[in-house]
Structure 1
Amino acid sequence: MTAEVQQTPNKFCDAIDKFILSIGHVVMWCNGILVLAIILQVVLRYGFGHGMVILEELQWHLYGIGVMFGASYAQVMDNHIRVDIIHARLSDKWKMRWDLFGIVFLMLPFIIIIFHQSLDFVYESWRVNECSDAPLGLPWRWAIKGVIPVSFGLLFVATVSRLVRIVVALRRMV
């Protein structure tokens, strides 16, 4: 994101971004817990010859939480992947237009489709009280699946915030 877009003051966007960043800072602790779970699993498996299924599944869940909520955090921080080959050659005004195009025609439709499709997916998992197939695995698999619509909802809000900032910055350039 250009410096002009990032510095565009907007109370609505600032509040949204602050909310998403605070959630991101809490979720970041999942990565620390993930590292501890991995170390414990490695020590148990290779040091004592006995790994734990619950630790393996906990690793998957923590990694999933970090990635899913990390997407909205990356959007707010503008640390997401972009096709820099095209983006780097554009002027600031055209960079903003390019970002606007990507948000409206690619990002938002993708987010809406995933969010909408995930609702039935999570509901069905909750309805049958889905749990791990492993006897000693984690219960409530529907809870981790519930992260999908929540994280994509946050990604939608973060993307709308960015969209508003770009539109405001473009209007100021005219």
Structure 2
Amino acid sequence: MSRSVPDWARRAEGAIGTVIDGTGAATAWVGLALVLVVAANVLLRYVFNTGSVALQELEWHLIAPIALFGMAYGMHKGAHVRVDFLYDRLSGRATAIIDLIAALMMIGLAAAVVALSVPYVAQSLQLAEGSPDPGGLPYRWLLKAFIPAGFACFGLQAVAQALHVALQLAQMTSREDAVVEPGRRASEAAALS
């Protein structure tokens, strides 16, 4: 692996990490908005004996970006679920290979979901789909657009993870080569004398 490739890969991994951190921060603000909307709905229902269909729909409209962007942020921070009792018993190279395979599979999954969901969002936009309930929120396509956007972020994070693991594997290989190389030289020198 040439020297420029790891530098490029590190910069790409860092740039993607910055994007995912930004979406994670935005998602945290959406979480705060969700708490405020739920509190408003409770206040309207139980104190003023009224309610708003739009506010009730807004609750699950806000859950969508939290879940869809939160999965990429969780992967970025290493807060995702894996079978740790098996994973922790494996060697560093084995865990890196598992992580690389998982990252490549996540890239494929993300690409498939984005490709399949874009026509779904386009159809919703074309129909000017809105809430079927009176007083509900319009622009249902905007809610559906979080599907490809969230999985695009997920795919980006998987690319960053694949780059990170590939760099780790390259470093492991170069360290192993550095350890083996002096031993080879010594045996070659002994054979020559």
Quick check: TM above 0.5? yes
CA distance in structure 2 between the aligned counterparts of 1:31 and 1:90, rounded to whole angstroms: 37
Range moving further from structure 2, 126-135 or 19-28: 19-28
CA distance in structure 1 between the aligned counterparts of 2:122 and 2:88, rounded to whole angstroms: 43
Partner of 1:42: 42
Q: CA deviation at 1:22?
A: 1.4
CA distance in structure 2 between the aligned counterparts of 1:86 and 1:127, rounded to whole angstroms: 48
Range moving further from structure 2, 85-94 or 62-71: 85-94
TM-score after normalising by structure 1: 0.90
Q: CA deviation at 1:79?
A: 1.2
Q: Please state if 1:149 is matched with 2:142.
A: no
Long gaps (5+) in structure 2: 1-8, 174-193
> SS in structure 2 opposite 1:17?
helix
CA distance in structure 2 between the aligned counterparts of 1:49 and 1:173, rounded to whole angstroms: 65
Map residues 31-110 of structure 1 onto 2, 5 A cutoff.
31-104=31-104, 106-110=105-109
Paired residues, what number? 165
Deviations 1:94-132 (A, max 9, x none): 11111112222x322221221111011101000000000
Q: Percentage identity across aligned positions?
A: 32
Deviations 1:54-87 (A, max 9, x none): 1111100111111111111112112112122321
Map residues 131-142 of structure 1 onto 2, 5 A cutoff.
131-142=130-141
Larger-Rg structure:
2
> SS in structure 1 opposite 2:31?
helix
Range moving further from structure 2, 54-63 or 18-27: 18-27
Partner of 1:159: 158
Amino acid at match of 2:67: V
CA distance in structure 2 between the aligned counterparts of 1:88 and 1:49, rounded to whole angstroms: 54
CA distance in structure 1 between the aligned counterparts of 2:86 and 2:120, rounded to whole angstroms: 37
CA distance in structure 2 between the aligned counterparts of 1:47 and 1:88, rounded to whole angstroms: 52
CA distance in structure 1 between the aligned counterparts of 2:86 and 2:110, rounded to whole angstroms: 23
CA-based RMSD of the aligned residues comes to: 1.3
CA distance in structure 2 between the aligned counterparts of 1:146 and 1:82, rounded to whole angstroms: 29
Partner of 1:118: 117
CA distance in structure 2 between the aligned counterparts of 1:93 and 1:34, rounded to whole angstroms: 42
Q: Which has the higher contact order (CA 8 A, sep 6+)?
A: 1
CA distance in structure 2 between the aligned counterparts of 1:11 and 1:125, rounded to whole angstroms: 37
CA distance in structure 2 between the aligned counterparts of 1:90 and 1:45, rounded to whole angstroms: 54
CA distance in structure 2 between the aligned counterparts of 1:10 and 1:129, rounded to whole angstroms: 43
> SS in structure 1 opposite 2:132?
coil
Following TM superposition, the consecutive aligned residue runs of length 4 or more in structure 1 with deviations greater than 6 angstroms are none
Amino acid at match of 2:91: S
Q: Please state if 1:15 is matched with 2:4.
A: no
Deviations 1:23-75 (A, max 9, x none): 22122100001001001101111222212111111100111111111111112
